[in-house]
Amino acid sequence: MSKIRLIPYEIDEIYESTTEVPEGVHLIQAPDAWEEAEQGKGNVIAIIDTGCQTDHPDLKDRIVGGRNFTDDYNGDENNYEDNNGHGTHVAGTVAASPVQDNGVYGVAPSADLLIIKVLSEDGSGEYQWIIDGIHYAIDWEGKNGEKVRAISMSLGGPTDIPELYEAVKRAVDEKISVVCAAGNEGDDRHDTNEHGYPGAYNEVIQVGAINFKKEIAPFSNSNDEIDVVAPGVNILSTYLEGKYAKLSGTSMATPHVSGALALVANISEKQFNRRLTEAELYAQLVRRTVPLGYPKSAEGNGLLALDILNQFERLFQSFTQTYKSVSSDKIRPAIKRS
């Protein structure tokens, strides 16, 4: 059986320090939703990847547990440190929370992270490791009864494995959203299909990548299962050795959506006063998208815009107030010409 691998990505630049809300986090309007969503507090996002630098200043307070399913570190299941860099970057985009005056913000800086290492230092892993990692995320329970809200997977392979599909379906049945990168095999044509698994499964939320000009990245896969797009070019986030880096790929777009689910869950479940099913949470996520004008095979429902419903509401209120103001004025009767 072939191995599963990281979705290919590019390291654009590495920084010793930084202080900012990354442009990608701004582009999906996450800061505008933070207050209403309590920054995603109370939600656990499972990062199924290469592990994570657990003592990174921006991440150490967000990590609530983890497991290593690879052969790295002599197979020590309790050592889920990142020896690649990819997983640390993904984790930061989901939930980085800066300390004092240095660091970056993730999409949901008060959400918690469950780190599941299923890929080795070289970025590859056995399909069974990923399958076991998904089941671990489903079965995991925190000390206060917490359960995983979403699984983030920026990995893929060419083979549709039945056991992988069954694991994904089980997660969805357990009210856990599964967010997957579309892949970077795109040919910059939207009428051709490029598939990778688990991203191509209908049950997952498959994420394509755009740049900061809101253009589809030329490397982003297109197919009829794309659900949304998010920033995936020159994305700033946490990196190894307590540093920061800008990376590009659909791998970088995916955690924007995973973090967004924590925000959307908190906002929506306050309104419904109950825990939403995976399908209901997906519907609430899609309500907060804006079409960019590309075919559905490239952008799905469009770009995440987490504050768009509030913007519509403010616009409607402004329109209503203006209408009432005009209606309340005395209208002078028309004078007919004789």
| Residues forming the active site | 49, 86, 251
Amino acid at 117: K
Which pair of structure tokens corresponds to residue 155? Answer: 């990995």
List the strands of the sheet with 235-238, edge to edge.
Answer: 10-15, 244-248, 235-238
Instruction: Characterize 201-224 residue by residue with b for buried, 16 or more Cβ atoms within 10 angstroms of its Cβ, and e for exposed.
Output: bebbbbbbbbbeebebbebbbbbe
Prior bond to 295 cis, omega within 30?
Answer: no
Q: Nearest-5° angle of CA 125, CA 172, CA 227? A: 80
Per-residue burial over 319-331, b if 16 or more Cβ lie within 10 Å, else e, is eeeeeeeeeeeee
Q: Which residues contact 34 (CB under 8 A, 6 or more apart)?
A: 109, 263
